[in-house]
Amino acid sequence: MTEIPEHLLKRSRAAKGKGDEGAASDSTAVTPATDAGAAPVAAGPPAVAAAAAAIPADKPAPEAPPEAHYIEAAKARRRIPAWVLPLVGALPIWAIAFAGTMQQPEVEDPLFTGAEAVYGEAGCAGCHGAGGGGGVGYQLSDGSVWATFPDPVDQMVHIARGSAAIADQGYGAERPGGIRIAGASGNNMPAFPDLTLLELELVVFHERAVLSGEDTSSEAYQEWMEHLREREEEGEEIEIDLELLLDCAHPDITPGATGVGSPDEDHPCPGPHAEGEEVAAG
Ligand code: HEC
């Protein structure tokens, strides 16, 4: 540190002394009798004298600097309220609960995973698109597939039998642009007689509920889904019985269908149907 030259110190001391005198002399305005820089015991009303004395006495004492505004503000600020603590404690619980909502239940559901797997493995996605948007084969998404087949069982027949078997015949319900004519697209829908019945039902479920957004909320539909799920878990392998499917399908939708219902109690018509009902009125 550079030392301050003595003459400067002297000057500063002198200036301070003057300042004190100045401050003290202010009191002269109140008490003209008090002489500037006079001893505190000077004449005048005692209160004024005390005030005059206080000023020069206090001034030179280096006072602690006033606290900065931000420190005062920090001290004045309220602390974290007590009720926050339980909230902080509950945070991990909330985090776990939240993580739970992020999971798509369908992803874990054997019904949905199984159905999607058949759609991919049987090669449907190759011609109809992974999302059912269409390609070589018709679009199956956005309600298109159930516009053609209001009842899933007719769709099952079409997939098992393909379109070459009913070449040039009309099939399906009245839909925008008229009913479907087999082979009219310039390509045939291949037959899939070697799928198991469960696979056939699963792929139909996938195309309708997942790709085409069919309403699954009815009791009958929910029962069908539960039935599929159970069989998927059991690993059922029943062959497709096209005769049975034709008995279950609707004659006005599916060429060759009888609509008489299943003759075999042990093998009811596949798909969602109301209690005791084998075939929806066709
Ligand atoms: C080789 C290509 C190809 C494959 C593989 C294929 N399809 Fe098709 N699919 C078609 C064609 C082409 C049509 C239309 C045929 C026609 O014009 O009659 C069609 C029609 C359909 C229809 C009728 C849709 C409607 O609205 O008329 C359904 C349902 C269908 N396919 C489902 C499936 C399913 C399920 C699979 C897999 C198990 C599958 N397709 C595999 C080519 C294919």
- Residue 168 CA to ligand 1 centre (angstroms): 15
Q: Looking at residue 239, what DSSP letter applies?
A: B
Q: CB of 183 closer than 6 A to ligand 1?
A: yes
Q: CB of 148 closer than 6 A to ligand 1?
A: yes
Q: Encoding tokens for residue 196?
A: 């198991």
Whole-number pLDDT of residue 12: 65
CA-to-CA distance for 139 and 277, rounded, in angstroms?
A: 31
CA-closest residue to ligand 1 atom 34: 124
Q: Encoding tokens for residue 217?
A: 């909320």
- Residue 204 CA to ligand 1 centre (angstroms): 11
Q: What share of the chain is helix, strand, coil (3-state, %, to 5)?
A: 50, 0, 50
Give the CB-side neighbour count of residue 224, counting CA atoms within 13 A.
25
Whole-number pLDDT of residue 280: 44
279 contacts 230 by C-beta, under 8 angstroms: no
Domains, the chain, ranges and CATH? 105-248 (1.10.760)
What radius of gyration do the chain's Cα atoms show?
47
Q: CB of 228 closer than 6 A to ligand 1?
A: no
Burial class (CB within 10 angstroms; exposed 0-12, middle 13-18, buried 19+) of 35: middle
pTM for the whole structure:
0.67
206 contacts 140 by C-beta, under 8 angstroms: no
34 contacts 27 by C-beta, under 8 angstroms: yes
Q: CB of 182 closer than 6 A to ligand 1?
A: yes
Cα 192 to Cα 41, 146, 168, 200, distances in angstroms:
121, 19, 19, 9
Tell me the average confidence (pLDDT) per consecutive run of 10 residues in the chain, 282 residues long: 66 61 44 46 50 55 77 83 86 83 66 95 96 96 96 98 98 95 96 97 97 95 96 92 97 97 92 61 38
CA-to-CA distance for 53 and 126, rounded, in angstroms?
A: 103
- Note the Cα 47 to chain centre separation in Å: 76
197 contacts 239 by C-beta, under 8 angstroms: yes
CA-closest residue to ligand 1 atom 3: 127
Whole-number pLDDT of residue 6: 75
The alpha helices in 103-150, defined as continuous H runs, are: 105-108, 110-121, 124-128, 144-148
CA-to-CA distance for 274 and 279, rounded, in angstroms?
A: 9
CA-to-CA distance for 147 and 214, rounded, in angstroms?
A: 10
Using alpha carbons, select from 24, 200, 57 the residue that is nearest to residue 122.
Answer: 200
Whole-number pLDDT of residue 61: 62
Q: CB of 161 closer than 6 A to ligand 1?
A: no
Q: CB of 188 closer than 6 A to ligand 1?
A: yes
Q: CB of 155 closer than 6 A to ligand 1?
A: yes
136 contacts 188 by C-beta, under 8 angstroms: no
CA-to-CA distance for 143 and 189, rounded, in angstroms?
A: 19
Whole-number pLDDT of residue 272: 93
Q: What's the angle, vertex CA 77, arms to CA 73 and CA 81, rounded to 5? A: 170
Q: Encoding tokens for residue 121?
A: 């493995």
